[in-house]
Amino acid sequence: MSDGASTAWAALRASLAPTFPQLLELEAGGALAMDLGSDGWLLELTPDGRLLCQYGVAIDDVMSLLSDGTPEDLGTDEIAKQAKYFIQPAVSKYRSLLLKSGFFEQTEMNDAYVAIRFERNVDVANPIAVQDLMRWCVRTIGAAR
C-alpha cells in the first residue's frame, strides 16, 4: 500500500470507529468486518477500497447436515452445490436491491466455506461516502427482519 493510500486507510478507520464500534480488524492494518444483525450476513471493508456484503456457510456445517455423521460419503462438488442451495434463500431477499445499488455478485468457495459475496468499490479517501454506504447496508440488511 502506498503512503497516500495507507494514510487514507488510517484516516478512514479512525473516522469509522465512533460510528461503527462493532467493526473488528481481521489482521493488523487489514480489512475491517462486522456482523450485519443476527441473520449471518457479514460486512467487510478492505484497505484497497472494497465494501463486501456476504453471506456464507461453513463446509463442515453443510457436511454435518447432509451426511448423518459420515461426511466422507460426500464429494466436494456435492457439498459446494448443497451449500449454495442452502444459502440462496437468505441471499435472494437482498440480491436485487444490492445489484441495483451498484454491487456485483460472486461466489467464493474454499475448503472452509462457501459464500455469496456482493462487492462494491469505495473511495477510502472519502470517509463520508463510505460511512453513508455502510449505514445503508446496516439499515437494509442488518435491520431488516
Domain check: are 13 and 25 in the same one? yes
What would the mean pLDDT of 119-138 be, rounded to a whole number?
95
Domain check: are 68 and 109 in the same one? yes
Does 5 score more than 70 pLDDT? Answer: no
**pLDDT, greater one: 61 or 2:** 61
Per-residue pLDDT, 67: 64
The number of domains in the chain is 2
**pLDDT, greater one: 145 or 80:** 80
Q: Nearest CA to 16 among 143, 138, 141, 144?
A: 138
**pLDDT, greater one: 136 or 81:** 136
Domain check: are 62 and 115 in the same one? yes
By percentage, how much of the chain surpasses pLDDT 70? 88
Domain check: are 57 and 110 in the same one? yes
Per-residue pLDDT, 73: 63
Domain check: are 145 and 103 in the same one? no
Domain check: are 62 and 109 in the same one? yes
pLDDT tens sequence across 63-77: 777 766 555 666 777
Question: Which residue range forms the structural domain that includes residue 10?
Answer: 1-49+122-145
Domain check: are 44 and 3 in the same one? yes
Per-residue pLDDT, 126: 95
Q: Whole-prediction pTM value?
A: 0.84
What would the mean pLDDT of 125-135 be, rounded to a whole number?
95
